[in-house]
Amino acid sequence: MEPTLDLRAALRDMILARRVDTEAIALQRQGELGLWPSMLGQEGAQVGAGSALRPRDVVFPTYREHAVAWCFGVDPVQLLGLFRGTTMGGWDPAERGFQLYTLVIGAQTLHAVGYAMGIVRDGDVGTGDPDRDRAVLVFLGDGALSEGETNEAFVWAAAQNLPVVFFCQNNQWAISAPFSVQSRVPAAQRASGFGFPGVQVDGNDVAACHAATEQALAQARAGGGPTLIEAVTYRRNPHTTSDDDLRYRDAAENDHWRDLDPVDRLRTALLASGEIDDAFLADVAAEEQELAERLRTGCRALPVPAHDDPFLHTLHTMTPELARQREEHLAFVAAGEEGPA
């Protein structure tokens, strides 16, 4: 199968997704966001995987898949709400099939497995109709490999031959714990023990990540079952804006990976081959400026939910006791607003 990646489009996506990340860090520094998990350095893995999706596929992300969200058409302003504290989610997971970020490590791998069971029961696997066949792409980090739930997900996916692709971004660090704490063997090698293929790719090579994901998704959609992809990459920033990575790793390691940066690498290659020129980059830079402006304005404009918002979404039908607590709370809030400043 010939990979279908448009390298110019991939470079544009990587640059713009990186700008989302950079702006979010700046917004956190300005006090507009409580926290931000940066994905700097992982654009190759994420755009590679994200660009292999078809509209009917479903994505289960962790909390760092900002570039995948970008590729799948989620408004980047919506990514900010969870971290600004205006929402517990931020977008409609049913609308695009991009599920909400999962902060509990590995929990989403099982949701992906269940969704894949649903796809099988819907008969949307192996029909040969590209408009019908679907698959699930679930993201995990190297730390999630140690979670029991991830290993249960591997067992289920294998035993039922489910249309699910596990995309592990091995970014070398689970907060302060190096990959050696999680595993003695490469992540991809784990898959064979569960009975399905594991593939290791250079996570900073967007074309390699795309090709591996496209092939694995095609196999899943065709009824060929699960694949584990290990994209070897590096998280160049701290775990989140609250983390101090220089306590557990030295700057030289970071410098080494900076030299392997996926964006620089692709830009250099495309300039050398003449596929892009300075005008292309200037256009993307202008787009970046526009995007940054939209993020800054959009972030500050994110609506604060109504006082009784949590009550409305706890259960499908509000119970009398919850209705009583809601009234009590609204009365309390109203009294506070009417009282002296």
Partner 1 sequence: MSTTTTTTSMTAMAHALNQALRDELDTDAKVLLVGEDIGELGGVFRVTDGLAKDFGPTRVVTSPLGEAGIVGSAIGLAMAGYRPVVEIQFDGFVFPAMNQIVTQLAKYRHRSEGRVSLPVVVRIPVGGGIGAIEHHSESPEAYFAHTPGLRVVCPSTPQEAYTLMRAAIRCEDPVIFLEPKKAYWSKGPVDRAAGAASREQLDRARVAREGDALTIATYGALTATALKAADELAAEGTEVEVIDLRTIAPLDHETVVASVRRTGRLVIAHEASQSGGIGGELAARVQRDAFFELEAPVLRVTGYDTPYPASRLEEEWLPGLDRLLDACDASLAY
Q: Which positions lie near partner 1, rule CB under 8 A?
A: 87-89, 92-94, 99-100, 102, 104, 107, 109-122, 148-149, 152-153, 155-156, 159, 309-310, 312-317, 319-322
Closest CA to 139 of 192, 203, 89: 203
**What is the bridge-based pairing of β-strands 177-178 and 173-174?**
antiparallel
Between 186 and 310, name the residue whose CB sits nearer to partner 1. 310
Q: Which residue has the tokens 């996916």?
A: 157
CB of 12 to partner 1, least distance (A): 31
Closest approach, Cβ 301 to partner 1, in A, equals 17
Assess whether 234 carries a catalytic annotation.
Answer: no
Minimum separation from the CB atom of position 144 to partner 1 (A) = 13
Q: How far apart are CA 59 and CA 112, in angstroms?
A: 8
From the list 66, 235, 236, 267, the catalytic residue is: 235
Establish how many alpha carbons lie within 13 A of residue 189's alpha carbon, considering only the half-sphere containing its beta carbon: 4
- Of the candidates 132, 248, 249, 326, the residue annotated as catalytic is 248
CB 116, min distance to partner 1, A: 7
248 is catalytic: yes
Q: Which residues contact 38 (CB under 8 A, 6 or more apart)?
A: 21, 24, 25, 64, 235, 236, 237, 238, 240, 241
Q: Which residue, 93 or 126, is less far from partner 1 as judged by CB?
A: 93
- Is 56 annotated as catalytic? no
C-alpha span between 147 and 82 (Å, rounded): 24
Least distance in angstroms from the C-beta of 332 to partner 1: 17
Of 152, 236, 141, 148, the closest CA to residue 179 belongs to: 141
Tell me the CA distances in angstroms from 6 to 16, 72, 233, 287, one per residue in order: 15, 16, 21, 18
Judge whether 17 and 46 are in contact, CB under 8 Å: yes
**Residue matched to tokens 């590096």:** 234
CB of 302 to partner 1, least distance (A): 13
Catalytic residue among 64, 190, 239, 267: 239
Residue pair 227/191 in contact by the 8 Å Cβ criterion: yes
SS3 203: coil
Query: Can you read off the two tokens belonging to residue 25?
Result: 């860090």
**Catalytically annotated residues:** 235, 239, 248
